[in-house]
Amino acid sequence: MDQVVAITGASSGIGAATARRLARAGAAVVLGARRTDRLGVLVDDIRAAGGRAEAVPTDVTNAADLQRLVQRAVTEYGKLDVLVSSAGIGPISRLSARRTDEWEAMIDVNLRGVLHGIDAALPVFGRQGRGHFVTIVSTAGLKILPTMAVYGGIKNAVRTILEGLRQESTDGTIKTTAISPGYVRTEFASTITDEEVLAGIQQGMDDFAIDPDAVARAIEFSIDQPWDVEIGELVIRPTRQG
């Protein structure tokens, strides 16, 4: 796989698993996250195994950070083939809890963060004549549940943006892929402040959540297609998830 892939949210979970898998397959990975200590360890591991990797401190709520991430890929490797937007938070709760600060945080990271990535990569993809956006969405946008109204609504907004971008790009220059994971063993629950909601999510994590590499395999499959084939949507969830 001779591709250059930038990944946000790369310090843990799906982002880190994707970085490891794509690097093993031969891709050069440019990794963005806020936790630079973890990024450094991940880059060292990939390089020690013979892979190509760079780390860029990245807060997706800061548009300039996404510009730097994309530019680093172009500077180091001469191009950017794929942007994987994996950064996300999930402080879910019932609307009646009125945790408005958490709503705003989800909008900033999960929605604006994706838009910042699209804005940063589009000029590069335009100059190259092609590029691929792979974005982590969620099954929470497919089946709306209590506590998931804001989170699921934001994920559906992202899904709509990707579909709009796809329809604006049927000249064959841009591909978009929305990956909707269910329960995955990540740090998703770490941002939940509602103790009752946290207990329920943690139970699901403990009982049947799948490994992040399951999602990484789906991402690898999506970007390893011939250019005239676009995998638009994939849902990856545990067999036991209701």
**In which element (H, E) is residue 57 found?**
strand 52-57
Provide the H-helix boundaries in 88-141. 100-106, 113-128
Q: Locate 131 and state its tokens.
A: 């590029």
Q: Is 155 left (phi over 0), alpha (psi -120 to 50) or beta?
A: alpha
Q: Is 55 helix (H, G, I), strand (E, B) or coil?
A: strand
Q: Locate 177 and state its tokens.
A: 């892929």
Q: Locate 87 and state its tokens.
A: 């950064």
**Residue in the structure block whose two tokens are 């497919």:** 142
CA distance 51 to 69: 19
Q: Locate 24 and state its tokens.
A: 């093993």
CA distance 234 to 220: 12
Active site residue 183: no
Nearest to 114 by CA among 237, 20, 3, 9: 9
CA distance 226 to 76: 25
| Catalytic-labelled residue, pool 103, 125, 151, 183 | 151
CA distance 224 to 217: 10
Catalytic machinery residues:
151
